[in-house]
């Protein structure tokens, strides 16, 4: 790579080495990805051959390395990302105007790439400072929460939280990270006993019976479908039965708020007695998430996060991938790593469910990437997925769980979630994740209480523009920093944040609005 960045506002007079201006991820790739703007007329040298860039190519966008006939399958990352919709010449910009998803036959090859993980001996494992809870799990934050059983109690939930957000309200509780509320739009208007209600109950139970939550109260209206007694039973909250305050039985809205404020005060006194202590990294459960992906996501931030994920797994910890629709076209890479055929088949069955689910609503699972993804250089869902699943590193797939289901296996786990970030992370955290790693190429102000969210920028320009929102600049990989070094940096940041370091989203006060349970079924 050249010592000084080359910025092309017009074609240079001399030919330029391909590696100086573009990334080719795999020897079998048909496309390169521009690291900087490429002007029409730029001559690129690739080995003994050369070709001319035919149209302006933005950073993160693809251009052809060789002639590609109409109908030919095109590769990036050494994998098929779609097929040419018309003839493409070397140097042509490759994007939505000449590349489409097409039909793709995948060889799932169950368990063919499975290799057991060599764990770091326990005596040599790293530690972080966490809050050990009575059930043995470890928190990275120490919150007290108010949970709405239904939308009708959400306003009262928010009012109680606002009381404790006033300056000085928590001054006497130095070990408390805050009082958080979980208002939502569900809890009624659904069929009693339905899968939709049960999923909501599982989500609500998981978000408060969480290692980052020291105590909570439940606010109910009284007549909702999601009855607190059933919620407590189905979500397994009865071991230390929480206080339920009911608006219809406890004097109405204002008195419910006052009673809730008093109840939280009692919980704060108990929760403040918790202190951080050294615990092994094996107690970290990391949610792997991306949002606003671009053409660099699969080159910088996601593979860097994947290397950090591998470190956590080798330390005995857990990493949880979500966004099942954004594994579409890349799921064969995960089934090959599955621990056994049952785990692999469960993932394949989820892909089939999503095909049926999107079809029912008149959509298609490959109706993706988003407009922002496309502006950043991504063209097909296959390309997006191939760049997304590398967040999960290279270790075996040990478990596939339903949305918001408690994760019970260590190592790499996949959770069935939508691709929409708030809904996806809600499920991962409800399943037990105590830290979130969130990569982005277009930018994000995402946060998520009660789990701290580390945001990783895929490119240096984004990091510079949104530095107050970004924790790590993965774009440095394009300037020569190795992926191994980036992975080590991300790993160390995860440990620091798990030990109490505030993320950029926490410093900005972000994370209270992102709780968003996945609502299934008909609204009655």
pLDDT along the chain (524 residues), means of 10: 49 90 96 96 94 96 98 97 97 97 91 96 97 97 98 98 97 98 96 94 98 98 97 90 96 98 97 98 98 96 98 98 96 98 98 94 84 94 97 98 98 97 98 98 96 98 97 97 98 98 98 96 85
Q: How far apart are the first and last CA of the chain?
A: 61
- H or E element in which residue 279 lies: strand 277-280
> What does the DSSP 8-state code read for residue 157?
H
Residue 157 · residue 144 · CB < 8 Å = no
89: Cα separation from own chain's centroid = 37
**Sheet containing 143-148, strands listed edge to edge, beginning at the edge strand earlier in sequence:** 178-182, 143-148, 213-220, 243-246
Whether omega before 199 lies within 30 degrees of 0, making that bond cis, reads: no
HEC readout, 85-114? CCCECCCCEECCCCEECCCCCCCCCCCCCC
Predicted pLDDT of residue 9: 59
Q: How many CB atoms lie within 10 A of CB 474?
A: 32
Residue 32 and residue 19: Cα distance in Å, rounded? Answer: 9
Predicted pLDDT of residue 365: 84
Q: What are the φ and ψ backbone dihedral angles of 55, each rounded to 5 degrees?
A: -135, 160
What is the fold, at CATH topology level, of the domain defined by 280-340+374-507?
Rossmann fold (3.40.50)
Residue 128 and residue 157: Cα distance in Å, rounded? Answer: 33
Residue 333 and residue 344: Cα distance in Å, rounded? Answer: 10
Residue 25 and residue 300: Cα distance in Å, rounded? Answer: 11
CATH code of domain 16-100: 2.30.130.110
Domains 129-271 and 280-340+374-507 share a fold: yes
Predicted pLDDT of residue 364: 84
**Sheet containing 22-23, strands listed edge to edge, beginning at the edge strand earlier in sequence:** 22-23, 31-34, 62-64, 93-94
Task: Tell me whether residue 509 is exposed, middle or buried, using C-beta atoms within 10 angstroms of its C-beta: 0 to 12, 13 to 18, 19 or more.
Answer: exposed
Domain at 129-271, CATH class:
alpha beta
Residue extents of the structural domains in the chain: 16-100, 129-271, 280-340+374-507
What is the β-pairing status of strands 127-132 and 43-46? Answer: unpaired
Predicted pLDDT of residue 5: 47
Predicted pLDDT of residue 277: 98
pTM of the prediction? 0.96
Predicted pLDDT of residue 1: 37
Cα dihedral 26, 56, 101, 423 sign: positive
Predicted pLDDT of residue 238: 81
Predicted pLDDT of residue 523: 87
Predicted pLDDT of residue 341: 98
Region of 412 please: left (phi>0), alpha (psi -120 to 50) or beta.
beta
């Amino acid at each position: 790579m050249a010592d000084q960045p080359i910025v092309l506002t017009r074609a240079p007079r001399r030919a330029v080495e391909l590696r100086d201006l573009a990334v080719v991820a795999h020897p079998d790739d048909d496309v390169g990805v521009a690291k900087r703007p490429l002007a029409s007329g730029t001559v690129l040298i690739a080995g003994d051959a050369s070709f001319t860039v035919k149209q302006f190519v933005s950073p993160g966008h693809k251009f052809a390395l060789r002639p590609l006939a109409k109908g030919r399958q095109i590769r990036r990352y050494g994998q098929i990302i779609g097929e040419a919709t018309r003839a493409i010449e070397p140097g042509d910009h490759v994007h939505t105007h000449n590349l489409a998803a097409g039909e793709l036959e995948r060889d799932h090859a169950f368990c063919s790439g499975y290799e057991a993980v060599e764990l770091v001996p326990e005596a040599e494992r790293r530690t972080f400072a966490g809050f050990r809870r009575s059930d043995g799990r470890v928190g990275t934050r120490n919150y007290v929460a108010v949970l709405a059983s239904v939308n009708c109690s959400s306003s009262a939930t928010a009012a109680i939280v606002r009381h404790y957000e006033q300056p000085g309200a928590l001054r006497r509780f130095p070990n408390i990270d805050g009082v958080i509320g979980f208002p939502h739009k569900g809890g009624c208007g659904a069929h009693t006993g339905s899968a939709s209600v049960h999923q909501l109950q599982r989500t609500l139970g998981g978000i408060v019976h969480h290692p980052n939550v020291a105590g909570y109260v439940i606010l109910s209206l009284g007549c909702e479908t999601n009855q607190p007694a059933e919620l407590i039973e189905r979500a397994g909250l009865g071991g230390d039965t929480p206080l339920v305050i009911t608006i219809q039985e406890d004097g109405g809205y204002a008195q419910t708020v006052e009673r809730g404020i008093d109840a939280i005060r009692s919980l704060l006194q108990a929760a403040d007695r918790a202190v951080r202590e050294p615990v092994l990294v094996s107690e970290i459960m990391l949610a792997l998430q991306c949002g606003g992906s671009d053409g660099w996501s699969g080159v910088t931030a996601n593979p860097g996060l994947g290397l950090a994920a591998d470190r956590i797994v080798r330390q005995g910890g857990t990493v949880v991938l979500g966004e099942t629709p954004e594994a579409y076209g890349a799921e064969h890479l995960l089934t090959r790593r599955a621990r056994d055929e049952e785990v692999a088949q469960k993932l394949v069955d989820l892909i089939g469910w999503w095909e049926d689910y999107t079809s029912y609503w008149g959509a298609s699972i490959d109706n993706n990437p988003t407009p922002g993804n496309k502006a950043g250089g991504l063209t097909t869902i296959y390309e997006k997925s191939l760049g997304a699943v590398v967040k999960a590193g290279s270790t075996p797939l040990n478990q596939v769980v339903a949305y918001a289901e408690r994760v019970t296996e260590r190592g790499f786990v996949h959770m069935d979630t939508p691709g929409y970030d708030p809904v996806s992370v809600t499920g991962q955290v409800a399943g037990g994740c105590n830290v979130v790693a969130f990569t982005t190429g277009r930018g994000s102000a995402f946060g998520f209480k009660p789990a701290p969210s580390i945001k990783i920028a895929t490119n240096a320009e984004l990091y510079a523009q949104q530095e107050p929102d970004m924790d790590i600049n993965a774009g440095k990989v394009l300037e020569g920093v190795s992926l191994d070094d980036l992975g080590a940096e991300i790993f160390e940041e995860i440990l620091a944040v798990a030990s109490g370091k505030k993320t950029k989203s926490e410093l900005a006060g972000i994370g209270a609005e992102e709780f968003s349970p996945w609502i299934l079924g008909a609204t009655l």
